[in-house]
């Protein structure tokens, strides 16, 4: 996706000519045999379990184990304020996405423009990306504890302590901020790769014309990096929806007051702690549908944006 | 060329199919044959439990020399998730370690009642109730788990209070806390409610000093009147600990394990509702609070009709899975795992209060002696009688009570509704 597609001068590689439809039967079957592994993997290890899971979500838990209960689990799910909180938090994540993309974008721009110490920053920014979420979570749990160093620092400035992980209005944003801190290094690298394809002469021209830094960013850098930005948007969204579990588990355990639940955490609690695997299956199916909608919407937006660009 | 294409395709297919088989559940998780038993737990990997496992194995080997026993230690935070998968599959370990209460009752359908096999251990061991559902026993208790109120005698002394005369009533308790806070700066109660455990400990520790004995027994028997004045009183007290600053700061973001215990341990709070076994107990605290500095008190009385007692249940216990080939054999292993010698080793190394009341604890210091003396008059803990679902809800509501976003009436009404549906 981040491949340089901006150079129309390069000829598209010519596809191999289609072989003539002839030859022995074995030769005609060979393509099928070659596709078979991929198809079998997808069908046997992806689609079939998916069907089983969806089917399982229509059965009951506990005393009604194995009994078909229709849409009962889904009714329970959407009546559960906790699951609704989890969905609301997914919505919040989508809203916070531009911030999560803008931070590495801006920092990459500064590195590309060779601010003093840019080599150091490049390494330092990437460093958290190699840490496990559990370690990151544990570090920030200590830093953000009520009697922790951050509140100590604020107290020194005469500001009241904030219960960063204990206030339901604050905790979710704190966890997202930590997630962004921990993962933006990867997006930064993608941005830097995108910058490598940037046409230096455009920047020089902008400088000659006397463009300010914001003008350069807006009229030269952003349009040239459309593809990269789209790619980072998609991967960041996926990262937020699928890999916050470790942080949530360590930092808030879904609390306070259930305010930091995400669907995957909800699924885990229902399955592991509350022993309701069928309800968890229903939640998984719902999450799958949400991801499908978000994914399709992103592809549609990408197509439209790409169409405008080309 | 043709031949090679087909062969490599076949090879790829073959590899794919075999890769799909197999090891999701890990070694040792298949249903044991009758000459091998598989045990799942989260203890046997600990160094503290090594002697215990050794003793139990030796005891079992004497009775059944031809049978091998394999212990598979699972990580505790995933234990019930893994077990859930095994139960769904209908195969897995023969003998399973469980926490008492909701965790085992919710999964009783996957277990074999062991009443007929453990009759001889009934008298010797305490804590059976936590492993019983509808009159059938599903596991034999290994440890007892309960919630004594620990206090720091050192802080009492510094505040000019008598360390050997802990407060008997709630009003005295609050008054003492005021004195301690003024003289030493320490908070009253080390509180950790990040996971919602704080309210569970509080409900059980304070329950017997608020409810009448009749109300208490009814609660355990399943007749819970959430709207009663006394039940509401417990949640009002909980709210009071937050509102009037008795708790350590940031209770909703402090983990009970082990940040809250660390606060108590380091003298930043004068009291903590702790545990009897595993962690957060007398032996854990001994690292910083020497035995003579650590006291155990009865919960301070709130209503005159109440009779405070130590809340305790069977802590962990071994159960026999339904799918095991020879339930008698598996039950014999459970009996070995709860034999007097094995439990003695568990007490000595792990510091757990073992289910066997005949074990001599006189060397453990005054706190453990007080606890063991209270066991006889003790009653099952209130929160253990609740389902995991209600406990989960109670955790969140308790956080709302502390932060002021829910009222006691509202919380109690929601809990009553959850308790009714199970």
Whether residues B343 and B242 share a domain: the answer is: no
Instruction: Give me the helix-helix angle, A171-196 and A226-242, nearest 10°.
Output: 150
pLDDT at A308: 56
Whether residues B68 and B217 share a domain: the answer is: no
User: Are B40 and B27 within 8 A, CB to CB?
Assistant: no
pLDDT digits (tens), chain B, 422 positions? 445 554 554 444 444 443 333 333 344 444 445 689 999 999 888 888 899 999 999 999 999 999 999 999 999 888 998 999 999 888 899 999 999 887 898 899 999 999 999 999 988 898 898 899 999 999 999 999 999 999 999 999 999 999 999 999 999 999 999 999 999 999 999 999 999 999 999 999 999 999 999 999 999 988 999 999 999 999 999 999 999 999 999 999 999 988 999 999 999 999 999 999 878 888 888 888 888 899 999 999 999 999 999 999 888 999 999 999 999 999 999 999 999 999 998 888 878 888 887 888 877 788 888 888 888 889 999 998 888 889 999 999 999 999 999 999 999 999 999 998 75
Alpha carbon separation from A112 to A198, A200, B17, B72, B314 (Å, rounded): 10, 11, 48, 53, 63
Distance, CA of B312 to chain centre: 9
10 Å CB burial of residue A177 (0-12, 13-18, 19+) is middle
Instruction: Tell me chain A's radius of gyration from C-alpha atoms.
Output: 25
Whether residues B209 and B106 share a domain: the answer is: no
Chain B hits for A65, CB-CB cut-off 8 Å, are 109
Whether residues B268 and B188 share a domain: the answer is: yes
Residue B20 has a CB neighbour count (10 Å cut-off) of: 12
**Is there a domain that residue B18 lies in?**
no
Q: Does the beta-carbon distance from A37 to B16 stay under 8 Å?
A: yes
DSSP 8-state code for residue B384: G
User: Which of A295, A288, A293 has the alpha carbon at shortest distance from A267?
Assistant: A288
pLDDT at B13: 44
**Is there a domain that residue B63 lies in?**
yes
User: Which of B71, B200, B392, B72 has the alpha carbon at shortest distance from A80?
Assistant: B392
Domain hosting B202: range is: 149-309+386-421
Q: Residue B318: enclosing H or E segment and its boundaries?
A: strand B316-321
Whether residues B216 and B300 share a domain: the answer is: yes
DSSP 8-state code for residue B420: H
Q: Buried (b) or exposed (e) across B130-154, using 16+ Cβ within 10 A?
A: bbbeeeebbbbbbbbbbbbbbbbbb
Give dist(CA B353, CA B145) in Å, integer: 7
Q: Does the beta-carbon distance from B84 to A271 stay under 8 Å?
A: yes
Task: Tell which wins on pLDDT, A17 or B207.
Answer: B207
Instruction: Give me the helix-helix angle, A226-242 and A81-112, nearest 10°.
Output: 140
Q: Which two tokens stand for residue B38?
A: 């598989």
Q: Which residues contact A114 (CB under 8 A, 6 or more apart)?
A: none
Interface test with B, best of A56, A83, A166, A168 (most B CBs within 10 A): A166
For the cut 90, the answer to whether the pLDDT of residue A141 exceeds it is yes
Chain B hits for A257, CB-CB cut-off 8 Å, are 252, 396, 399-400, 403, 405
Q: Does the beta-carbon distance from A257 to B259 stay under 8 Å?
A: no
**Is there a domain that residue A164 lies in?**
yes
**Is there a domain that residue A33 lies in?**
no
Whether residues B201 and B325 share a domain: the answer is: no
Whether residues B159 and B257 share a domain: the answer is: yes
Whether residues B248 and B212 share a domain: the answer is: yes
Residues of chain A with a CB closer than 8 angstroms to some CB in chain B: 24, 26-27, 30, 33-34, 36-37, 40-41, 44-45, 62, 65, 82, 144-147, 161, 163-168, 171, 252-253, 255-258, 268-269, 271-275, 277
Give dist(CA B242, CA B193) in Å, integer: 11
**Is there a domain that residue A42 lies in?**
no
**Is there a domain that residue A134 lies in?**
yes
Q: Which two tokens stand for residue A176?
A: 């997202």
Q: Which residues contact B22 (CB under 8 A, 6 or more apart)?
A: none
Domain hosting A235: range is: 69-309
Residue A199: CATH number of its domain: 1.10.3720.10
Residue B106 has a CB neighbour count (10 Å cut-off) of: 22
For the cut 90, the answer to whether the pLDDT of residue A298 exceeds it is no
pLDDT at B335: 95
User: Which of A90, A98, A103, A101 has the alpha carbon at shortest distance from A294?
Assistant: A90
Q: Does the beta-carbon distance from A165 to B194 stay under 8 Å?
A: yes
Q: Which two tokens stand for residue B62?
A: 């004497």
CA within 13 Å, CB half, A7? 10
CA within 13 Å, CB half, B81? 13
Whether residues B196 and B271 share a domain: the answer is: yes
pLDDT at B29: 42
For the cut 80, the answer to whether the pLDDT of residue A8 exceeds it is no
ipTM of this predicted complex? 0.79
pLDDT at A2: 42
* The total number of structural domains that make up chain B: 2
Give the N- to C-terminal CA distance of chain B in Å, as an integer.
66
Q: What is the mean pLDDT of residues A265-294?
A: 90
Q: Which two tokens stand for residue A282?
A: 């229903």
**Is there a domain that residue B353 lies in?**
yes
Strands of B17-167 (E only): list them. 36-41, 68-73, 95-99, 111-112, 132-133, 136-137, 139-141, 144-146, 149-152
Chain A hits for B195, CB-CB cut-off 8 Å, are 253, 255
Give dist(CA A185, CA A180) in Å, integer: 9
Whether residues B98 and B185 share a domain: the answer is: no
**Is there a domain that residue B19 lies in?**
no
Nearest chain A residue to B390, by CA: A274
Give dist(CA A81, CA B134) in Å, integer: 32
User: Which of B106, B219, B16, B220 has the alpha carbon at shortest distance from A42?
Assistant: B16
Q: Does the beta-carbon distance from A277 to B84 stay under 8 Å?
A: yes
* The total number of structural domains that make up chain A: 1
Q: Does the beta-carbon distance from A256 to B403 stay under 8 Å?
A: yes
**Is there a domain that residue A272 lies in?**
yes
Q: What is the mean pLDDT of residues A5-22?
A: 48
**Is there a domain that residue A154 lies in?**
yes
Q: Which two tokens stand for residue A121?
A: 């920053």
Whether residues B197 and B293 share a domain: the answer is: yes
Nearest chain A residue to B250, by CA: A146
Distance, CA of B272 to chain centre: 16
Whether residues B320 and B300 share a domain: the answer is: no
- Distance, in angstroms, between B84 CA and closest chain A CA? 7
CA within 13 Å, CB half, B340? 9
Q: Which two tokens stand for residue B148?
A: 């004594």
**Is there a domain that residue B322 lies in?**
yes
Give dist(CA B108, CA A62) in Å, integer: 10
Chain A hits for B109, CB-CB cut-off 8 Å, are 65
Q: Does the beta-carbon distance from A27 to B17 stay under 8 Å?
A: no
Residue B56: CATH number of its domain: 3.40.190.10
> What would the pLDDT profile of A197-227 be if each residue is shown by its tens digit?
888 888 889 989 998 888 888 888 888 888 8
Task: Tokens 């009443």: give the residue.
Answer: B115
**Is there a domain that residue A192 lies in?**
yes
**Is there a domain that residue A117 lies in?**
yes
User: Are B310 and B205 within 8 A, CB to CB?
Assistant: no
Give dist(CA A175, CA A161) in Å, integer: 18
């Amino acid at each position: 996706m981040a491949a340089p597609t901006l150079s129309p001068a390069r000829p598209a590689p010519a596809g191999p000519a289609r072989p003539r439809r002839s030859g022995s039967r074995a030769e005609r079957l060979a393509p099928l045999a070659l596709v078979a592994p991929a198809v079998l993997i997808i069908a046997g290890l992806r689609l079939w379990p998916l069907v089983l899971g969806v089917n399982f979500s229509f059965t009951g838990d506990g005393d009604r184990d194995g009994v078909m209960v229709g849409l009962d689990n889904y009714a329970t799910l959407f009546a559960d304020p906790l699951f609704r909180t989890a969905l609301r938090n997914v919505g919040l994540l989508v809203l916070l996405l531009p911030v999560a993309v803008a931070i590495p974008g801006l920092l990459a721009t500064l590195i590309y423009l060779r601010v003093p110490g840019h080599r150091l920053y490049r390494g330092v920014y990437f460093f958290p990306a190699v840490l496990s979420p559990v370690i990151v979570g544990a570090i920030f749990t200590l830093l953000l504890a009520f009697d922790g160093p951050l509140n100590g620092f604020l107290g020194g400035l005469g500001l009241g302590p904030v219960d960063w992980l204990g206030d339901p209005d604050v905790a979710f944003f704190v966890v997202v901020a930590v997630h962004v801190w921990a993962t933006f290094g990867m997006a930064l690298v993608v941005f830097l790769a995108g910058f490598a394809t940037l046409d230096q002469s455009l920047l020089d021209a902008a400088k000659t014309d006397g463009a300010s830094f914001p003008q350069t960013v807006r009229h030269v850098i952003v349009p040239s990096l459309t593809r990269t930005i789209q790619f980072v948007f998609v991967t960041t969204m996926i990262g937020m929806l699928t890999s916050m579990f470790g942080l949530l588990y360590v930092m808030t355990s879904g609390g306070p007051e259930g305010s930091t639940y995400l669907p995957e955490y909800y699924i885990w609690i229902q399955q592991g702690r509350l022993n309701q695997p069928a309800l968890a299956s229903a939640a998984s199916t719902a999450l799958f549908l949400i991801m499908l909608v978000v994914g399709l919407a992103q592809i549609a937006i990408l197509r439209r944006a790409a169409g405008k660009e080309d | 060329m043709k031949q090679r294409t087909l062969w490599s395709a076949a090879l790829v297919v073959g590899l794919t199919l075999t890769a799909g088989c197999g090891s999701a559940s890990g070694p040792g998780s298949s249903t044991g044959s009758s000459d091998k038993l598989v045990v799942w737990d989260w203890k046997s990997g600990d160094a503290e439990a090594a002697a215990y496992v050794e003793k139990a194995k030796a005891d079992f080997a004497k009775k059944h020399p031809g049978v091998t026993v394999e212990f598979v230690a699972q990580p505790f935070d995933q234990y019930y998730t893994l077990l859930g998968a095994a139960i769904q599959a209908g195969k897995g370990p023969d003998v399973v370690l469980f926490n008492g209460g909701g965790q085992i009752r919710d999964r009783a359908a996957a277990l074999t009642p062991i009443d007929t096999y453990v009759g001889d251990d009934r008298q010797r061991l305490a804590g059976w109730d936590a492993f019983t559902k509808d009159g059938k026993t599903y596991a034999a208790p290994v440890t007892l788990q309960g919630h004594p109120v620990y206090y720091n005698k050192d802080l009492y002394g510094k505040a000019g209070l008598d360390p050997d005369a802990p407060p008997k009533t709630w009003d005295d308790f609050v008054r003492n806390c005021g004195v301690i806070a003024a003289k030493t700066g320490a908070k009253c109660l080390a509180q950790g409610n990040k996971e919602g455990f704080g309210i569970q400990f509080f409900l059980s520790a304070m329950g017997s000093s608020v409810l009448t004995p009749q109300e208490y027994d009814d609660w355990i028997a399943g007749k819970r009147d959430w709207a009663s004045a006394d039940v509401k009183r417990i949640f009002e007290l909980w709210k009071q600990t937050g509102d009037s600053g008795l708790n350590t700061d940031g209770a909703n973001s402090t983990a009970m394990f082990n940040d809250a215990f660390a606060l108590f341990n380091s003298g930043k709070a004068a009291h903590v509702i702790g545990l009897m076994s595993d962690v957060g107990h007398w032996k854990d605290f001994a690292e910083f609070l020497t035995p003579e500095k650590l006291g155990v008190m009865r919960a301070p009385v709130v209503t005159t009709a109440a009779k405070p007692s130590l809340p305790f249940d069977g802590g962990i216990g071994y159960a026999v899975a339904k799918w095991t080939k020879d339930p008698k054999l598996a039950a014999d292993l459970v009996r070995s795992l709860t034999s007097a010698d094995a439990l003695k080793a568990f007490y000595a190394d792990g510091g757990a209060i073992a289910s066997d009341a005949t074990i001599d604890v006189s060397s453990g210091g005054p706190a453990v002696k007080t606890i063991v003396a209270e066991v006889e008059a003790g009653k099952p803990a209130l929160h253990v009688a609740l389902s995991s679902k209600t406990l989960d809800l109670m955790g969140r509501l308790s956080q709302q009570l502390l932060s002021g976003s829910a009222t006691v009436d509202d919380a109690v009404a929601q809990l009553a509704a959850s308790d009714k549906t199970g």
